[in-house]
């Protein structure tokens, strides 16, 4: 399937769907909370643009899955 999409030059949509399949909201939230608590970071780190850029570098489809308020 991927090979067929690659041959036709249309892998963008397939890549996006693959990236989305590996995002799990509960796991992302748990990892984020663990990161903040274990490293004694401020909860408002989640409002930093740099923090969101880091997540998007890891998986560009995570934009809507990252908490944006510390309350």
The structure's pTM equals 0.61
Task: Determine the Cα–Cα distance for residues 1 and 5; give it in Å rounded to an integer.
Answer: 6
Q: Is the pLDDT of residue 24 over 70?
A: yes
More confident residue, 65 or 70: 65
Confidence category of residue 62, pLDDT binned at 50, 70, 90: confident
pLDDT at 40: 93
CA distance 60 to 63: 7
Domain spans, the chain? 24-71
Among 3-7, 10-14, 24-28, 66-70, the minimum mean pLDDT is found in 66-70
Calculate the CA dihedral of residues 14, 20, 59, 55 and round it to 10 degrees: 160
- Using alpha carbons, list the distances in angstroms from residue 32 to 6, 15, 16, 25, 36: 35, 25, 23, 10, 6
For residue 48, the 8-state DSSP code is -
Q: Percentage of residues in the chain with pLDDT exceeding 90?
A: 11
């Amino acid at each position: 399937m991927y090979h067929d999409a690659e041959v036709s030059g249309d892998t963008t949509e397939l890549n996006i769907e693959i990236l989305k399949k590996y995002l799990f909201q509960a796991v992302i939230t748990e990892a984020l909370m663990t990161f903040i608590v274990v490293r004694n970071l401020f909860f408002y780190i989640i409002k930093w643009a740099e923090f969101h850029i880091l997540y998007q570098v890891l998986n560009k489809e995570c934009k809507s899955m990252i908490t944006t308020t510390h309350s």
